[in-house]
């Protein structure tokens, strides 16, 4: 999926030799989590909005050199890796570097999510099913076989959680009735975490999936 045209140049870049006055103003007037810092034009790191309370206008950006965060992407970074970088660093903006470590612009989280939401995973009609199983036991080929064996289409699948040797997988299935699909997953020892069907067995589990509903309503 092509996202390079989402690189923006409306967010400033600060030199390490500047004072924090304009940095403070930037964070106070925007909702961005980070902003890039360069040294002689080369990427050095990121100042975080979380440190705003510690900034003093007359101090230099260089005074926070060792508190800067260091994450970025390049124009060649795949869109899924871009989303992962946003999530891992709890950021809503990412600097994009070229091969010389120069900042060519930024990705805004909202712009990248808009591209993701425009994929068939979200656009095509279907139902959401979340299943879990031991991390050593799951197989995407088996998951596809289970869905397609019930005359349904698998529109997409990705891992949404993994902890304590249990992996959680979110599926978009091209059917409005998940009963047969869900029952087959149970026969293969998958646990149904969430499914927006009329399956009475999982109705009480829907309340534990607020994160998914919120995510799908972005």
pLDDT digit string (tens) for 143-182?
Answer: 999 999 999 999 888 888 888 899 999 998 987 668 889 9
User: Which residues, including other chains, have CB under 8 Å from residue 185's CB and lie 6 or more apart?
Assistant: 129, 131, 146, 192
| DSSP type of residue 10 | -
pLDDT digit string (tens) for 100-140?
Answer: 999 999 999 999 988 888 877 777 788 889 999 999 998 99
At residue 23, the pLDDT reads 97
Among 1-10, 33-42, 147-156, 191-200, the least confident range:
191-200
Q: How many helices (H) and strands (E) does the chain have?
A: 7, 10
Same fold, 4-116 and 120-207+209-213: no
User: Which residues, including other chains, have CB under 8 Å from residue 195's CB and lie 6 or more apart?
Assistant: 127, 128, 129, 130, 178, 182, 202
CATH fold, domain 4-116, is CBS-domain (3.10.580)
Q: Domain 120-207+209-213: which CATH class?
A: alpha beta
Output the DSSP codes for 114-153.
HHHHTSHHHHS--EEEEEEEETTT--HHHHHHHHHTTT--
Q: Which residue has the tokens 């995407």?
A: 140
Domain residue spans in the chain? 4-116, 120-207+209-213
User: Which residues, including other chains, have CB under 8 Å from residue 193's CB and lie 6 or more apart?
Assistant: 130, 131, 132, 168, 205, 208, 209
C-alpha 191 chain-centroid distance: 24
């Amino acid at each position: 999926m092509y996202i390079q045209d989402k690189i923006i140049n409306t967010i400033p870049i600060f030199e390490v030799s500047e004072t924090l006055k304009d940095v403070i103003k930037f964070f106070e007037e925007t909702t961005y989590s980070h902003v890039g810092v360069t040294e002689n034009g080369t990427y050095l790191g990121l100042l975080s909005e979380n440190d705003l309370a510690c900034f003093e206008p007359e101090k230099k950006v260089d005074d926070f050199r060792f508190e800067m965060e260091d994450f970025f992407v390049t124009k060649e970074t795949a869109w899924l890796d871009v989303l992962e970088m946003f999530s891992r660093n709890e950021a809503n903006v990412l600097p994009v570097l070229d091969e010389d470590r120069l900042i060519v612009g930024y990705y805004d989280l909202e712009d990248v999510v808009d591209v993701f939401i425009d994929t068939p995973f979200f656009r095509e009609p279907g139902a959401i099913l979340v299943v879990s199983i031991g991390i050593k036991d799951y197989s995407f080929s088996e998951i596809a076989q289970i869905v397609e064996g019930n005359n349904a289409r698998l529109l997409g699948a990705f891992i949404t959680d993994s902890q304590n040797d249990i992996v959680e997988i979110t599926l978009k299935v091209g059917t409005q009735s998940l009963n047969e699909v869900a029952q087959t997953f149970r026969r293969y020892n998958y646990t149904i975490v969430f499914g927006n069907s009329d399956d009475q067995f999982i109705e009480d589990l829907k309340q534990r999936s607020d994160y998914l509903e919120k995510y799908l309503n972005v």
